[in-house]
Chain A
Amino acid sequence: GAGVSQSPRYKVAKRGQDVALRCDPISGHVSLFWYQQALGQGPEFLTYFQNEAQLDKSGLPSDRFFAERPEGSVSTLKIQRTQQEDSAVYLCASSLAASRFFGPGTRLTVL
């Protein structure tokens, strides 16, 4: 497809489990963002990549959150030892120049 894709679309984890969320950006897009959207809230910035370089990780809420984009394309957001407050929709966006495109998100539920 031509858009940003994310997998899985839904993930249920038990508290304490590790999860990995994948983002496939639009081919050729240099910039990639991760956002977290809690229920009833707007998306909140987590981290930003330019190609494979993670230039801003100021929004990651704790050291349990880790993101990578090793080849400057696919990105993975990893959450270790999940907590109930991690339950949210995780959105990925990619951009080339001024046009940003969001993926459909992964809904993470931590029980």
Chain B
Amino acid sequence: DQQVKQNSPSLSVQEGRISILNCDYTNSMFDYFLWYKKYPAEGPTFLISISSIKDKNEDGRFTVFLNKSAKHLSLHIVPSQPGDSAVYFCAASVGSNFGNEKLTFGTGTRLTIIP
């Protein structure tokens, strides 16, 4: 039972354009959502997060949108840069982010930025 789903295994975007990565979840108990970026042979690194009490969180080129009624979130990267090429994981947890909650991850989307 995949509680967090990333239905696009891969995405290619031209440098300078917007990258939109999507994530859906089924567990209505999830109330904190995170995006991680992963390069080959490295561990995931935290990118941006959002609490269920918000519908948008922005950090520089990265914005995460949350639609609770649709159980859907998306990550927007604009403008996209070659260094953004990586695998992106959506993750969710139950409970506020105190750092001790287990995360449920999606299967990832491989983003390739075309120069």
Q: Give the interface of A toward B (CB within 8 A).
A: 4, 30-31, 33, 35, 40-45, 48, 50, 56, 59, 91, 93, 95-105
Contact A104 B43 (CB under 8 A): yes
Distance in angstroms between the alpha carbons of A40 and B38 in the assembled complex = 13
**A-B interface, 6 closest residue pairs, ranked by CB to CB distance from nearest:** A102-B43, A42-B105, A95-B99, A45-B102, A31-B100, A98-B97
Interface residue count on the B side (C-beta < 8 Å)? 22
Chain B 69-99 residues near chain A, CB threshold 8 A: 89, 91, 97-99
Question: What chain B residues lie within 8 Å of A42 (beta carbons)?
Answer: 4, 6, 89, 91, 105-108
Taking the closest CB of chain B, its distance from the CB of A103, in whole angstroms, is: 5
Contact B43 A91 (CB under 8 A): yes
Contact A43 B98 (CB under 8 A): no
Give 20 pairs: A residue, B residue, CB < 8 Å, sorted on A: A30-B100, A31-B99, A41-B107, A41-B108, A43-B89, A43-B103, A44-B105, A45-B104, A48-B102, A59-B102, A95-B99, A98-B97, A98-B99, A99-B46, A99-B99, A100-B46, A100-B99, A101-B43, A102-B45, A103-B43
